[in-house]
Chains A and B, each alone.
Chain A
């Protein structure tokens, strides 16, 4: 009699494989379109297959776990209180953080290893790595400066590798602590009515547990130091690589990044000066207008005062003639005219 579960698993595996293949084909057929599963960090330089594999890796891990978990026949006898058994049960998620981070891997993040491997290979192809001295050997001769540069880069890469190993070690600890957290969470679901009844619910609980363990680690003093050291170590490697690249560029007459930076800095300062001058000019224009308006107002006042003085002078003269001011004369004239009407 055929084993029903085994048949199902065979059918399922065939179906699952067809499904993944279909997704890969779908995404490969549309290189010009945006990746509908645009998660993960992509680079144009990466082969398309590599990008897709990275993007789908985490989903596939989940699919594999579902398959494994269903096949394990979880039931009343599941040894959920034994860490080793739980670890085995969650084997499809073994190394969950490196797995999750594989999708995050990018040249601008911490995916430095493949980048520096490519660098070393390029250096070797250029014959530069032959006889590269290690950092313990004193440098001398016409290639002394080049030897020193290589030693510094080599030391920086070694340092990065060491710090990265510490970082990975911390993530491993999170994995172990996450299993313990999961057992704690499961213990809270032991009462009838609260039991975990679906694989997805168990998966969600596992994620909660892992994230709790990760958050505790990520906020620890040790993680803070290692994360900082990892960032600094990577930047040191990149900086030395840039310096060597610049040296080559200078020899080939190609503008370097430092030169572009220098130009950029000057241009930015010019932009600032220009804006300040424009604003200053604008303020100055405003101030000039204000000054001119003040001067005009003053002139008007002077003119008005001068007119008044002149009028008074005439009035005084007229008053001397008939004892009346010109205004009195006007009123008298109008009055006379009215009477005439």
Chain B
């Protein structure tokens, strides 16, 4: 067997020198860059309550869709992943397709929100947000687009309030929380969630971020920044990188009670697919979801494994179920070039066939 390491010593020295040169020169490019903006699609606040805001997103043309779509994001991180920058924006792409887009910004919970439950979030905030949009459009039902945990919320909401949802789109949404490859789920099984929430109250965003980085510690905490050195001399790429960094770490704390319920009922007990989930006083039966469902998952998702999403087909009540496998990861499904070309048109086509 030949030696797989085939280095030219001079080339190795050159590589070292190039790294250090880029590192030194990169300082110049970082100067004055400051904080990178995101979420720059024009928008109007149409409903607010406590820290929640419902935004109506404005495209350059009038929407052609008769039924609006409400984007329901997760409580972890912020909804602005869907509108990161002009050329990486699910929201803009949907608007360009003619969709009428609303989104929920859950805000940043503080001590006053420590006792918010899933019932408060779903049968309270989300339900009132849906009602506000239904009223604006004089419609009985609107379309929902749930993302990640927001997809799980959208499923629960649709099961509890089926008359208010016309079509349901879920993206990278966990349904079966106990697939063998689900690292997050694996880690919380032996965790005493009551002790955790009773001690911490709201769960700090830094702790959530720490857990996410721990899923791939070397890749996310070292290799990524080593690769950043390569783009220090490219202002556009560098701004994109810093914008993403902002989104990753600009994350809200988690309301303690809702976190407790979510970890217990979903991650530890997997009750969504067992069929005995209850939110507030309402049972959540996925069999009640008889609306058309479009389920989009990412084939390389390290946070929500594909099997966790694909489980939806086995449990949902609808006969009109469509599944799309996106070649990419949990974040790439919003920001990659492929995502810009494929995701919004797929959603729009699917909706158009059903309205």
Contacts of A257 in B (CB 8 A): 201
Residue A31 at the chain B interface, CB threshold 8 Å: no
- Footprint of A on B, CB under 8 Å? 1-9, 11-13, 15-17, 19-20, 23-24, 27, 30-31, 33-35, 111-112, 114-116, 120, 124, 180-181, 183, 186-192, 195-196, 198-201, 204, 206-207, 209-210, 213-219, 221-226, 229, 242, 245-246, 249
Q: How far is the CA of A48 from the CA of B338 in the complex (A)?
A: 40
Q: How far is the CA of A66 from the CA of B196 in the complex (A)?
A: 42
Asked if B219 and A211 make an inter-chain contact with CB atoms under 8 angstroms apart, the answer reads yes
Asked if B225 and A74 make an inter-chain contact with CB atoms under 8 angstroms apart, the answer reads no
Asked if A70 and B226 make an inter-chain contact with CB atoms under 8 angstroms apart, the answer reads no
Mark A68-94 against chain B: 1 for CB-CB distance below 8 A, else 0.
011001111110100000000000000
Contacts of A306 in B (CB 8 A): none
Mark A238-255 against chain B: 1 for CB-CB distance below 8 A, else 0.
110010000000000000
Asked if B217 and A235 make an inter-chain contact with CB atoms under 8 angstroms apart, the answer reads no
Q: Can you name 10 A-B residue pairings with CB atoms under 8 Å?
A: A74-B12, A78-B3, A80-B4, A106-B206, A199-B12, A211-B216, A218-B187, A218-B215, A228-B190, A242-B199
**Count of A interface residues, CB-CB < 8 Å:** 92
Contacts of A307 in B (CB 8 A): none
Question: If A106-B206, A108-B207 touch, does A219 touch B6 (CB 8 Å cutoff)?
Answer: no
CB B97 to nearest CB in A, in angstroms, measures: 34
Q: Which of A75, A100, A242, A272: most chain B CB closer than 10 A?
A: A100
Instruction: Say which residue of B5, B191, B209, B229 sits within 8 Å of A195 (CB atoms).
Output: B5
Q: How far is the CA of A229 from the CA of B192 in the complex (A)?
A: 9
Contacts of A260 in B (CB 8 A): 111
Residue A327 at the chain B interface, CB threshold 8 Å: no
CB B99 to nearest CB in A, in angstroms, measures: 30
Contacts of B192 in A (CB 8 A): 228, 231-232, 235
Number of A-B pairs, beta carbon distance below 8 Å = 235
Instruction: Say which residue of A38, A96, A187, A236 sits within 8 Å of B246 (CB atoms).
Output: A38
Chain A residue nearest to B119 in the complex (CB): A272
Interface of B is mostly: helix
Chain A residue nearest to B7 in the complex (CB): A74
Residue A210 at the chain B interface, CB threshold 8 Å: yes
Stretch at the interface among A54-62, A145-153, A293-301, A309-317: A54-62
Asked if B20 and A19 make an inter-chain contact with CB atoms under 8 angstroms apart, the answer reads yes
Question: If A80-B4, A186-B4, A268-B115 touch, does A63 touch B218 (CB 8 Å cutoff)?
Answer: no
Asked if A15 and B20 make an inter-chain contact with CB atoms under 8 angstroms apart, the answer reads yes
Chain B residue nearest to A89 in the complex (CB): B5
- Footprint of B on A, CB under 8 Å? 5, 8, 12, 15-16, 18-19, 22-23, 26, 33-34, 36-41, 58-59, 61-63, 66-67, 69-70, 73-78, 80, 96-97, 99-101, 103-104, 106, 108-110, 186-192, 194-200, 202-204, 207, 210-211, 214-215, 218-219, 223-225, 227-229, 231-232, 235-236, 238-239, 242, 257, 260-261, 264-265, 267-269, 272, 275
Asked if A227 and B187 make an inter-chain contact with CB atoms under 8 angstroms apart, the answer reads yes
Instruction: Say which residue of A16, A196, A215 sits within 8 Å of B20 (CB atoms).
Output: A16
Asked if A109 and B11 make an inter-chain contact with CB atoms under 8 angstroms apart, the answer reads no
Q: How far is the CA of A40 from the CA of B141 in the complex (A)?
A: 44
Q: How far is the CA of A200 from the CA of B16 in the complex (A)?
A: 9
- In the complex, the 4 A-B pairs of residues with the closest C-beta atoms, listed nearest first: A228-B190, A268-B115, A195-B6, A109-B210
Asked if B6 and A197 make an inter-chain contact with CB atoms under 8 angstroms apart, the answer reads yes
Contacts of B242 in A (CB 8 A): 36, 38
Asked if B2 and A22 make an inter-chain contact with CB atoms under 8 angstroms apart, the answer reads no
Question: If A26-B27, A218-B186 touch, does A195 touch B210 (CB 8 Å cutoff)?
Answer: no
Contacts of A8 in B (CB 8 A): 13
Q: How far is the CA of A36 from the CA of B27 in the complex (A)?
A: 10
Extra pairs beyond A211-B219, A227-B191, A268-B120 (4, CB < 8 Å): A22-B24, A38-B246, A187-B1, A272-B120
Q: Which of B30, B207, B222: most chain A CB closer than 10 A?
A: B222
Contacts of A214 in B (CB 8 A): 216-218
CB B48 to nearest CB in A, in angstroms, measures: 14
Contacts of B249 in A (CB 8 A): 38-39, 41
Asked if B183 and A219 make an inter-chain contact with CB atoms under 8 angstroms apart, the answer reads yes
Q: How far is the CA of A5 from the CA of B10 in the complex (A)?
A: 9
Contacts of B209 in A (CB 8 A): 41
Asked if B180 and A219 make an inter-chain contact with CB atoms under 8 angstroms apart, the answer reads yes
Instruction: Say which residue of A33, A62, A103, A227 sits within 8 Å of B190 (CB atoms).
Output: A227
Asked if A195 and B2 make an inter-chain contact with CB atoms under 8 angstroms apart, the answer reads yes
CB A89 to nearest CB in B, in angstroms, measures: 9
CB A288 to nearest CB in B, in angstroms, measures: 20
Asked if B27 and A104 make an inter-chain contact with CB atoms under 8 angstroms apart, the answer reads no
Q: How far is the CA of A229 from the CA of B20 in the complex (A)?
A: 42
Contacts of B183 in A (CB 8 A): 215, 218-219
Chain A residue nearest to B6 in the complex (CB): A195
